[in-house]
Amino acid sequence: MRALGKRGLVLFTLVALFAILFSSGVWAAETIKIGALYPLTGGSAAEGRELRAGAELAAEIANKVFDKISMNMARNEGIKSLKGAKIELVFKDHEGNPTLGADLAKKLILDDKVVGIVGCYHSSVTKSVSAVCEQHGIPMINDSSTSPGLTKQGYKWFWRTTPHDETFTKDLFEFLKGLTEGKAKGVKAVPKGELKTLASACEKTEWGSNVSILIESFAKSYGFEVKKSILYAAKSTDLSSEVGSLKAVKPDAMLFASYASDAILMLKTLKAQKAQPKLIWGQDAGFEAPEFKDNLREGIIGVLTRTVFLPKLAQVKKVAGEVNGFYKERTGRDFSGASARSFTGVQAWVEVLEKAGSTEPAAIQKACNEIQIAGDQLIVPWSGIKFATSGDDIGQNILGTGMIGQYQKDQDGNIILEIAYPFDVASANLIYPLKGF
């Protein structure tokens, strides 16, 4: 009996010690699982790799201490309000398929027990995944899908950090207007009659279809004429007829919403048919994917793309340069618009969890609706992150802004993106009109 009593005392002591360590936070910190849905294979795999790399770096910075990075997230070593709990991203590959995306979201929620979801890049996939999250009462922070309709559904469990295509398309027309007013760096005012006619070609899923509508709408309000508007099937293997239709109307500017393989094929076909637009603009996506530059090289000099991040931001925003440096060390390349947005999406999750001090959905929902993240904490050129809680754009970050970059050669012969818009932070003289087509 005496021996048994000793064993009981030892067991009691161990249990008590365990309880003390766990309650004081000395014991191993909890892991918080967040589902990350991206296109890791298929036609948008390159963008998916960028998205994953950006998200992974954000989680790494949140989980450790990085003294050389000027953001709160880099100093807390986990979620401070949750006793240092670490972020674990659970990646799933939706392949650009909305049905698969919805199925994977259910598995993340029911099987992996994630507290929420980030993603999904393709607006069509985000639409199906957000419906699943709404059904299950699980928070979703959308980092990289830009169809305006996603935040017009009145959902209570959906928030979006990135600006959407209304903002980005308005930026395009402000840029075109500024060109006619002599605001572009290194270019004299272009007579309106020489830059009036437009033609567009957009892939016909949720994203591209909405961009096409927005181009038509903004063109009318800004006094431009869309002479041809085409919707084509994504992942097309031949765009000869589409390019022929665009070329036939002899537009001053050609505008595109294309994923990577389509953007590459579109530019190659434009060159093959000797199209001669004065300006080419892409709605990010394929026009900023790594293989766009890798495949076309000097063939993209002068081409414009909308974006939310350019390495030149480091000249005006310290934290952008600091984090981009870490990203380049790990990947061998600069942040793209995709990786910068996924980084920022995970960062928003970290800040929301810090404010919530809980992983309960209701607490996270409350934190999302109340949070305001300062612009100086972000690598992107936004005033901050604050989600709309009323009106017809519920869950949309109302402090986000866009940029337009232009592919140019630097002094060493490298092809880089220079800042073309906003005009007041332009980093190089604009190439206009476009040459080589």
- pLDDT single digits (tens) 80-117: 999 999 999 999 999 999 999 999 999 999 999 999 99
Contact indicator for 178, 206 with CB cutoff of 8 Å: no
- Rounded to 5 degrees, what are φ and ψ at 35? -75, 135
Both structure tokens of 64? 């450790």
Based on the fold, state whether residues 204 and 157 are members of the same structural domain: no
Looking at residue 6, what is its pLDDT? Answer: 52
Based on the fold, state whether residues 125 and 153 are members of the same structural domain: yes
Assess if residue 265 is contained within a domain: yes
Q: What are the E-state strand segments in 77-233?
A: 86-93, 116-119, 140-142, 158-160, 197-203, 225-232
Q: Which residue has the tokens 């899923």?
A: 205
Q: What secondary structure letter does DSSP report for 147?
A: -
What mean pLDDT do residues 358-367 have?
A: 98
In the chain, how many domains are there? 2
Q: What is the pLDDT of residues 211-233, one digit of tens each?
A: 999 999 999 999 999 999 999 99
What mean pLDDT do residues 358-381 have?
A: 97
Looking at residue 5, what is its pLDDT? Answer: 55
Q: Is residue 359 very low, low, confident or very high in pLDDT (cuts 50, 70, 90)?
A: very high
Based on the fold, state whether residues 189 and 125 are members of the same structural domain: no
Based on the fold, state whether residues 158 and 257 are members of the same structural domain: no
Q: What is the pLDDT of residues 271-281, one digit of tens each?
A: 999 999 999 99
| Distance from C-alpha of 411 to C-alpha of 228, rounded to nearest angstrom | 38
Based on the fold, state whether residues 224 and 358 are members of the same structural domain: no
Looking at residue 356, what is its pLDDT? Answer: 98
Please count the residues of the chain: 437
Looking at residue 357, what is its pLDDT? Answer: 97
pTM of the model: 0.82
Q: Say how far residue 92 (Cα) sits from the centre of its chain.
A: 17
Looking at residue 316, what is its pLDDT? Answer: 81
Amino acid at 70: S
Q: Say how far residue 78 (Cα) sits from the centre of its chain.
A: 23
Q: Is residue 2 very low, low, confident or very high in pLDDT (cuts 50, 70, 90)?
A: very low
How does DSSP assign 48-68, residue by residue? Answer: HHHHHHHHHHHHHHHHS--TT
Based on the fold, state whether residues 194 and 143 are members of the same structural domain: no
Assess if residue 6 is contained within a domain: no
> Domain range for residue 72?
31-163+317-386
Q: What angle do CA 241, 280, 430 make, to 5 degrees?
A: 165
Based on the fold, state whether residues 174 and 156 are members of the same structural domain: no
Structural Rg of the chain based on CA atoms: 24
Based on the fold, state whether residues 338 and 349 are members of the same structural domain: yes
Looking at residue 327, what is its pLDDT? Answer: 96
Based on the fold, state whether residues 274 and 416 are members of the same structural domain: yes
Looking at residue 236, what is its pLDDT? Answer: 85
Check which CATH number belongs to the domain holding 123 and give it: 3.40.50.2300
Q: What angle do CA 153, 155, 160 make, to 5 degrees?
A: 85
Better-scored residue on pLDDT, 29 or 19: 29
Looking at residue 285, what is its pLDDT? Answer: 80
Q: What is the pLDDT of residues 128-154, one digit of tens each?
A: 999 999 999 999 999 999 999 999 999
User: Which residues does 232 contact at the CB level (< 8 Å), separation at least 6?
Assistant: 201, 202, 203, 204, 239, 242, 262
User: Does residue 17 carry a pLDDT above 50?
Assistant: no
Packing angle of the helix pair 45-63, 337-356 (nearest 10 deg): 40
